[in-house]
Structure 1
């Protein structure tokens, strides 16, 4: 397929650079010809194996049909899923713990906080549990070594000082959920971001 593509000068430069070995990074906008360039690269390196990682299953499936046999196509999450232990990957399919039950397990009660308007509102156990889970997801998608207060989402309508207090207070629980998620003896469900982060840091 790639042999039918007549490369532009930029594409040819990329193919030549890849052929010399080493790592290269290419930045291109939508419609710039990224896929056709990769097809050219796959054709040039037909004697070597390659991997095409996509953001969703539909793109990965399309790539699987278009690339030559020496290129394996899949999503980032599917590769990460296959890279972690079976004990961990099996937990992805377990029923998720409802947010209010997570809050109850951690001994967290409803709290009242002021809004920027001065009105006092109640943050329910469901909302607290959701903030912890979302905080874990944000941590997993970050480059930070440990969960911090900024990973905990806070509604912009909450007074700034109250939001800081709430985020600081929930940060340890995000860390606790992270520890539970990566514990090989764990029996609870985990979010996909957990194994994606583990794969990223394990290589």
Structure 2
């Protein structure tokens, strides 16, 4: 902190309380000087290490420049991401394949399925490719070790039996890879 900065009596009380080593909770409104107070605490407690958690990268970057070296400034998201196993984090940022290309790659063709009202609905290769892509996305964002039928989204207008048939037929299968790519098992009727 700059030499000319003088803490308010409230800030000084917080710095003194932090020095005791007890747990401390401070509530203050926006602009009340919370970050300045935390900088005072960080200097007081040096060389003890601390972490400043921010809600966005810009605030974390600003904090990195203002806190002493014993404090690490990071976002809440980066802390959570760092604690997540790499098997899950590697699945989150995969490039998407357009549904029509996915359908073409797996030879998916149009199929008619019954609706909940009994009327036939046509699902195009694009629709089926979108279901597979969305299902892969759901799987990749889940903690499941393998794809499951529930990952495949099916419109509520589709008959329950047909929905189960679609989920089973479009379920990604095969050995997991680092890129979360799977072969698609398609029933003979699709």
For the superposition of Structure 1 and Structure 2, which TM-score range results when normalised by the shorter chain? 0.5 to 0.7
Larger relative helix fraction: 1
Residues in 2 aligned to 1:138 and 1:6: alpha-carbon distance in whole angstroms: 49
Which structure 2 residues correspond to residues 1-203 of structure 1 after superposition, within 5 A? 4=11, 16=22, 43=42, 47-48=48-49, 50=51, 52=53, 59-66=56-63, 68=67, 70-74=71-75, 75-76=77-78, 96-171=96-171, 173=172, 175=173, 179=177, 181-182=179-180
Tell me if structure 1 keeps the 8 A contact 2:114–2:121. Answer: yes
Taking structure 2 as the reference length, the TM-score comes to 0.56
User: Which has the higher relative contact order, 1 or 2, with Cα contacts under 8 A spaced 6 or more apart?
Assistant: 1
Q: Secondary structure of 2:177's match?
A: helix
Q: Deviations over 1:12-50 (max 9, x none)?
A: 8xx8459xxxxxxxxxxxx9xxxx69x859846863264
Taking structure 1 as the reference length, the TM-score comes to 0.53
Residues in 2 aligned to 1:143 and 1:165: alpha-carbon distance in whole angstroms: 24
Q: Structure 1 residues 114, 137: closer, same or farther in 2, change over 3 A?
A: same
Unaligned runs of 5+ in 1: 19-30, 184-203
Aligned pair count? 146
Tell me if structure 1 keeps the 8 A contact 2:140–2:180. Answer: no
Residues in 2 aligned to 1:178 and 1:51: alpha-carbon distance in whole angstroms: 37
